[in-house]
Structures are given as structure tokens and as C-alpha cells.
Amino acid sequence: MTQQIADPVPEIATAPGRRRSWPSWLRIFAGGLALWLATVVITFLTGNANLIPAVILLGSFLIPATFVTYVFGRADEVVTAQRIVTAFVYGGMLSRVRDVYAVASYTPDQSAGVQESDGALHGGERHVVHLR
């Protein structure tokens, strides 16, 4: 007895005279790109630095969200929705750990320029030494 595997990408039936709509991942990408471009233009025209985090967040989330939507449309019994979400969450956590490590490795030592006193003369307080 043989099993037949269903086509992973079924054809979408359309009514006669109607055009097929864009795939959901392409609509998300186009909408997100338009929103990101609008935010960049508004930030540039107004000179409002408070909008820069919005530009960064929209830009950094657009491709991963589009890719997850693309993969969800092709999920099957091996690549399940649970595996997709798990990979998305773990990938996000690992990228944050990598970013923190990268920032910490390129940031100068925070203790440079700070001297501890012996406590006898100054009561154990810290003094900042300005190096020029």
C-alpha cells in the first residue's frame, strides 16, 4: 500500500475574471517596506531624532517577519508551525546574546580613569581622574 504525498504548495483557485492576489509574505514585505520608507522620509524631513529607533526596529524586524510568513505558508509535517516559532524565538535570543557580546568586546574598559582611595584619607570614596 503506498501513500501519496500532497503537493506542499497547492494551487489557489481563482474566480474567472479575478486576478490572483499577492502571496501573504509579499504583501507583508511590501507593506513593511512602505512603512519603513515613510518613517525614514518623515525622520529626515522633520529632523526628529526620536524617530530613529522606529526606523531601526522596523528595518531589523521586516526581513525575519517576512521570512517566517513565507515559511508558514509552506509548513508541512516535518517543518511544523511549532518548529518555525521555536527557531524564530531561539534565533532572536541568540542574536541578542551575540550583539551584547560584540558591544561589550568593543567598549573600552569602564574602570579606566577611576581610582579607589585607600579609605584612610577620603573615607573610601571614588575619584574620577580625567585623562587628556
Separation CA 58–CA 35 (nearest Å): 8
Examine the domain organization and report whether 66 and 98 are in the same domain.
Answer: no
Domain total in the chain: 2
pTM summary value: 0.56
Examine the domain organization and report whether 68 and 32 are in the same domain.
Answer: yes
Domain that holds residue 29: 22-74
Residue 39 lies in a domain: yes
Residue 45 lies in a domain: yes
Q: Is 123 left (phi over 0), alpha (psi -120 to 50) or beta?
A: left
Q: What is the DSSP string of 28-91?
A: HHHHHHHHHHHHHHHHHHH--GGGHHHHHHHHHHHHHHHHHHHHHTT--SSS-HHHHHHHHHHH
Residue 16 lies in a domain: no
pLDDT at 14: 54
Examine the domain organization and report whether 64 and 83 are in the same domain.
Answer: no
The pLDDT profile of the chain, 132 residues, written as one tens digit per residue, is 566 555 555 555 555 666 778 888 999 999 999 999 999 999 999 999 999 999 999 998 899 889 889 988 888 888 888 998 898 889 889 988 888 888 877 766 655 444 555 545 455 555 554 554
Residue 117 lies in a domain: no
Examine the domain organization and report whether 63 and 85 are in the same domain.
Answer: no
